[in-house]
Amino acid sequence: MTQVEQLSKLLDKLEVEMQANGTWQTQAPSESALMSVEPFAIDTLLPHEWLQWIFIPQMRFLITQNCSLPAEFSMAAYFEESWKTETQFCAVIRVIQQIDKVSLSC
């Protein structure tokens, strides 16, 4: 399986896990919240909102447009720290850890 195929499957899995734990939203945050320039939009979005409304769509866009994918990104540490007391995010964190590993093969 190629790196793109692996990443695509992991993005789907991330969405499923977020839906399973009830953090998948039906309404997008405000346009101004989505325009943050801070890492992970930490000033305007919750961690799961950033995943849903910025990371997943951007990665899917890059995949469908056959663009170069970011290499060697490391997101897990941020989410592990953000959710260290929220066990409902354990499965989401495991998927993020897998995404980080796949990015190392770019």
Residue pair 37/105 in contact (Cβ under 8 Å)? The answer is: no
Number of neighbours of residue 9 by Cβ within 10 angstroms: 13
SS3 assignment, position 57: helix
Res. 106: pLDDT tops 60: no
pLDDT digits (tens, 9 = 90+) for 27-77: 999 999 999 999 999 999 999 999 999 999 999 999 999 988 887 778 999
At residue 63, the pLDDT reads: 94
CB-facing half-sphere around the CA of 77: CA atoms within 13 A: 2
At residue 11, the pLDDT reads: 97
SS3 assignment, position 76: helix
Can you say how many angstroms the Cα of residue 51 is from the centroid of all Cα atoms in its chain? 4
Please provide the distance, in angstroms rounded to a whole number, between the alpha carbons at the two ends of the chain. 13
Domain tally, the chain: 1
CATH of the domain at 42: 1.20.1440.40
- Which structure tokens are listed for 12? 């789907």
Of 71 and 2, the structure prediction assigns the larger pLDDT to: 2
Largest distance between two CA atoms of the chain: 38
Range(s) of the domain holding residue 71: 3-103
Global pTM exceeds 0.85 = yes
